[in-house]
Chain A
Amino acid sequence: QLQLQESGPGLETPSETLSLTCSVSGGSISSTSYYWGWIRQPPGKGLEWIGSVFYSGRTYYNPSLKSRVTISVDTAKNQFSLKLSSVTAADTAEYYCARGCYDSSGYEREFDPWGQGTLVTVSS
């Protein structure tokens, strides 16, 4: 059964770069059948897609964050990572990694499963 686990610092200083890693177990991150994504949720609020990375290395980012986001894959470690630069208090959120699924036509579909999430607080 595929499992995802986020890791990284729980506290970031304003203006610094947030770095998180998602470790994938029970399956290969190199599979062409799936893609991988980051989603975040500020405390008490809704879900915001940050970006996704595909087996080819192609990435798509939310335009609202694009200038600050980098998502990359490390196939040797079966991990993918998120970097978000110049963080502010508005970036305080639970950060989730998830596997993205395709439909039979190759279009993106749901995220399943998700990691348990990691809370990142931005504060001096």
Chain B
Amino acid sequence: NAGVTQTPKFRVLKTGQSMTLLCAQDMNHEYMYWYRQDPGMGLRLIHYSVGEGTTAKGEVPDGYNVSRLKKQNFLLGLESAAPSQTSVYFCASSHGTSARYEQYFGPGTRLTVT
């Protein structure tokens, strides 16, 4: 099992460009999450999904959109990148509600917006 994978691993964007980050999991998990991690800020939840076809906003959703068309995939989109979106993005998945079940994280995507 690969667990949770993320593509790409690194990316540099210019302000105003768009991109999509792909997260895939092979554990048949229902729940999936997107976080960002900034120095001194800890992990913050951007969006999450409790099942195929459903998404919900987290703590810092502005400037991002997500889609969960297939159970195993969770896409994070930046429509018009801004320097404030420079961060490390982690995807995670869990069997059920994160309050009870371990979250498994992907290796992260390091994004720089210039």
Q: Do A and B come from one complex?
A: no
* Contact surface of B with A, Cβ cutoff 8 Å: none
